[in-house]
């Protein structure tokens, strides 16, 4: 089975040209995953009124989505690993069409929560698929760049998902906001059929099981880094509003998130340039810079200029995180890459939930000034794990991608 589509001698190459249209279709899938997840955050008042519940209850639509991803990623990935890859990708997009449409027309709170749960399940399957799919489209020396392009939808959605939801809720109503997500998904189906090549799934005799993949030392090391890195990130990101108030920027959260998002886009571009020959260095640099940012915020975070500059550095370090982590994880897992990436979905979403819980406890018991020191400790633990995983999870030198 070839790792990437064969190319005839008549096709010009720059050491094999990237299939940009196909990779951007994967990026659009990631954008829809994140935008669908974050959309309610900008629509809570309208959703609460429309469903006849409190905003706290409406906010559980975000939790339902995350739980769906958390619970479904591994079993769905294992169940579909022998299926053709484009079929699985199309199933996830059709699921977004169905469940976003159901959310848009639902008049019942629990039906809405159920639709959100299954949309999250579709996202869990999509996230376990996208990185491995991007890798198979290109030769090994371009896999990092391909994944960086396929992941570009994530920081865009993180930067603009909540503002987009707020604008849609004001302009056309919250139900039409979810309708727009369905319409984008319909267009994505056409895009996938035109531009994205198909690949076979694993043969039945080569299908991987969860246990052996989880036991791989490199997989364990990378997932441990994910846990501590994303715990630190989500603690601060989830509660950026109360933290920014310490610097007198409580009413400028939109600006802070915009700075973060733009910096994250730059971060993913830098990662795409470096990842294939400096994966280890880029991960260690990102974690070190994030730790330094947390230290600066600990000491000077009440200064608004320091907060804005620190946010830009933070976004820069986070932008390439998904690409760096998934590249390292897929390299470490080899043929078990899809299963390892489904485990990443679980750990990543668990860290989102954990960051929210930990941040809430700190906010209530100590106050938002406690966030940077805790972020610093968590990041240093992740940095230590990444530094010691020089033989497996984050090996030294130019990466040698696995098929």
- Residue 173 backbone zone (phi > 0: left; psi -120 to 50: alpha; other: beta): left
Query: d(Cα 101, Cα 109) in Å, to the nearest integer?
Result: 15
Query: d(Cα 131, Cα 206) in Å, to the nearest integer?
Result: 20
Find out whether 49 and 176 touch, Cβ atoms under 8 Å.
no
Q: Which residues contact 329 (CB under 8 A, 6 or more apart)?
A: 131, 218, 219, 222, 223, 337, 340, 341, 344
| Sequence spans of domains, the chain | 20-206, 210-388
- Does the pLDDT of residue 9 top 60, yes or no? no
| pLDDT on residue 372 | 96
HSE-up of residue 10 (Cα within 13 Å, Cβ side): 0
For the purposes of burial, counting CB atoms within 10 Å of the CB of 87, is it exposed (0-12), middle (13-18) or buried (19 or more)?
exposed
Find out whether 61 and 36 touch, Cβ atoms under 8 Å.
no
Place of tokens 């997500």: 181
| pLDDT on residue 162 | 66
CATH hierarchy code of domain 20-206: 1.20.1250.20
Backbone angles phi, psi at 250, to 5 degrees: -60, -25
- Supply 401's token pair: 């991608």
- Cα–Cα nearest to 34, from 69, 3, 60, 1: 69
Give 179 or 57, the one with higher predicted confidence. Answer: 179
Query: d(Cα 225, Cα 221) in Å, to the nearest integer?
Result: 6
| pLDDT on residue 3 | 47
Give 130 or 349, the one with higher predicted confidence. Answer: 130
> Which pLDDT tens digit goes with each residue over 122-159?
999 998 899 889 988 998 888 878 888 888 887 778 76
Place of tokens 């950026």: 240
| pLDDT on residue 332 | 87
| pLDDT on residue 211 | 78
Find out whether 338 and 77 touch, Cβ atoms under 8 Å.
yes
| pLDDT on residue 399 | 65
- Does the pLDDT of residue 14 top 60, yes or no? no
pTM: 0.79
Q: What is the mean pLDDT of residues 315-320?
A: 91
| pLDDT on residue 392 | 86
Q: What is the mean pLDDT of residues 287-311?
A: 96
CATH hierarchy code of domain 210-388: 1.20.1250.20
> Which pLDDT tens digit goes with each residue over 236-289?
987 888 899 999 988 887 788 789 888 988 998 898 888 888 899 999 999 999
Give 151 or 105, the one with higher predicted confidence. Answer: 105
Find out whether 167 and 41 touch, Cβ atoms under 8 Å.
no
**8-state DSSP, 398:** S
pLDDT band of residue 16 (cuts 50, 70, 90) is low
Q: Which residues contact 191 (CB under 8 A, 6 or more apart)?
A: 21, 25, 28
Find out whether 227 and 395 touch, Cβ atoms under 8 Å.
no
- Does the pLDDT of residue 13 top 80, yes or no? no
> Which pLDDT tens digit goes with each residue over 42-62?
777 888 899 998 877 888 888
Q: What is the mean pLDDT of residues 54-82?
A: 87
Lowest mean pLDDT among 178-182, 250-254, 366-370: 250-254
The three-state secondary structure class of 257 is: helix
| pLDDT on residue 50 | 92
Query: d(Cα 28, Cα 158) in Å, to the nearest integer?
Result: 13
Query: d(Cα 287, Cα 314) in Å, to the nearest integer?
Result: 10
Angle in degrees, 0-180, between the axes of helices 304-319 and 253-300, rounded to the nearest 10: 100
- Does the pLDDT of residue 370 top 90, yes or no? yes
Tell me how far the alpha carbon of residue 142 is from its chain's centroid. Answer: 21
- 20-206 and 210-388 share one fold: yes
- Cα–Cα nearest to 391, from 221, 274, 271: 221
| pLDDT on residue 208 | 66
Query: d(Cα 80, Cα 339) in Å, to the nearest integer?
Result: 10
Mean pLDDT score of the chain: 87
- Does the pLDDT of residue 205 top 60, yes or no? no
- Does the pLDDT of residue 398 top 80, yes or no? no
């Amino acid at each position: 089975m070839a790792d990437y589509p064969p190319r005839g001698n008549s096709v010009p190459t720059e050491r094999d040209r990237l299939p940009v249209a196909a990779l951007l279709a994967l990026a659009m899938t990631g954008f829809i995953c994140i935008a669908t997840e974050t959309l309610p955050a900008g629509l809570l008042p309208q959703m609460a009124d429309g469903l006849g519940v409190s905003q706290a209850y409406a906010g559980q639509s975000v939790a339902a989505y995350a739980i769906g991803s958390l619970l479904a990623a591994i079993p769905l990935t294992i169940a579909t690993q022998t299926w053709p890859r484009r079929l699985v990708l199309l199933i996830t997009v059709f699921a977004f069409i169905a469940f976003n449409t159901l959310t848009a027309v639902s008049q019942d709170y629990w039906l809405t929560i159920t639709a959100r749960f299954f949309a999250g399940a579709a996202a869990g399957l999509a996230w376990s698929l996208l990185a491995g799919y991007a890798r198979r489209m290109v030769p090994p020396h371009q896999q990092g760049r391909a994944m960086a392009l396929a992941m570009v939808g994530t920081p865009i959605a993180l930067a603009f998902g909540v503002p987009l939801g707020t604008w849609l809720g004001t302009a056309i109503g919250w139900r039409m906001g979810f309708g727009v997500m369905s319409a984008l998904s319909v267009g994505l189906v056409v895009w996938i059929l035109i531009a994205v090549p198909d690949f076979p799934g694993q043969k039945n005799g080569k299908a991987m099981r969860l246990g052996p993949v989880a036991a791989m030392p490199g997989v364990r090391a990378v997932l441990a880094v994910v846990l501590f890195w994303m715990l630190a990130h989500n603690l601060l990101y989830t509660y950026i509003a109360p933290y920014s108030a310490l610097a007198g920027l409580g009413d400028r959260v939109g600006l802070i998130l915009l700075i973060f998002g733009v910096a994250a886009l730059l971060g993913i571009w830098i990662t795409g340039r470096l990842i294939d020959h400096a994966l280890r260095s880029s991960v260690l640099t990102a974690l070190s810079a994030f730790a330094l940012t947390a230290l600066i915020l600990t000491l000077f975070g009440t200064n608004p200029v320091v907060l804005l500059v620190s946010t830009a550095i933070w976004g820069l370090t986070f932008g390439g995180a998904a690409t760096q982590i998934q590249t390292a994880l897929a390299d470490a897992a080899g043929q078990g890459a899809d299963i390892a990436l489904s485990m990443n979905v679980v750990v990543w979403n668990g860290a989102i939930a954990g960051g929210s819980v930990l941040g809430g406890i700190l906010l209530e018991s100590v106050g938002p000034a406690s966030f940077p020191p805790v972020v610093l400790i968590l990041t240093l633990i992740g940095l230590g794990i990444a530094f010691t995983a020089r033989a497996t999870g984050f090996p030294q030198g130019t990466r040698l991608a696995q098929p």
